[in-house]
């Protein structure tokens, strides 16, 4: 028997995430309440400074071909488990 999370506890959701210029797609855990700024940081953490050089630039999240606003949440964006998202550098300050 497995234990269930108490009511009101947020559960992580796996998505397929790829940082631009990286050759690896990773399963990344995000929360429905994460903003795109937070999602970008989660996707970048294991990549930037390792396989992709760090830049003094903002990051943007793309889902179904559109760039999502930095303050939009995962729930508002309609991102579902195991869908693909892409993160890349941008001139906008969404860090």
pLDDT at residue 68 tops 60: yes
Residue 86, domain member (yes or no): yes
Residue 8, domain member (yes or no): no
Residue 42, domain member (yes or no): no
Q: What mean pLDDT do residues 9-34 have?
A: 94
R_g of the chain, CA atoms, integer Å:
14
- Of 9-13, 34-38, 49-53, 90-94, least confident by mean pLDDT is 90-94
Q: Look up the pTM and report it.
A: 0.85
pLDDT value of position 73: 98
Residue 64, domain member (yes or no): no
Distance CA 76, CA 41 (A): 18
Residue 12, domain member (yes or no): no
pLDDT at residue 20 tops 80: yes
Find the domain containing 81 and state its range: 17-25+71-95
Residue 76, domain member (yes or no): yes
- The count of structural domains within the chain is 1
pLDDT value of position 95: 45
Residue 78, domain member (yes or no): yes
Between residues 72 and 11, which one has the greater pLDDT? 72
Which residue, among 24, 32, 22, 28, has the nearest Cα to 74 in the 3D structure?
32
Q: What mean pLDDT do residues 52-66 have?
A: 96
Per the prediction, the chain carries an average pLDDT of 90
């Amino acid at each position: 028997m497995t234990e269930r999370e108490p009511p009101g506890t947020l559960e992580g959701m796996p998505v397929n995430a790829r940082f631009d210029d990286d050759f690896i797609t990773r399963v990344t855990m995000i929360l429905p309440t994460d903003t795109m700024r937070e999602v970008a940081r989660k996707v970048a953490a294991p990549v930037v400074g390792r396989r992709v050089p760090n830049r003094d630039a903002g990051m943007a999240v793309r889902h179904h071909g559109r760039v999502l606003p930095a303050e939009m949440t995962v729930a508002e964006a309609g991102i579902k488990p195991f869908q693909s998202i892409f993160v890349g550098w941008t001139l906008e300050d969404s860090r």
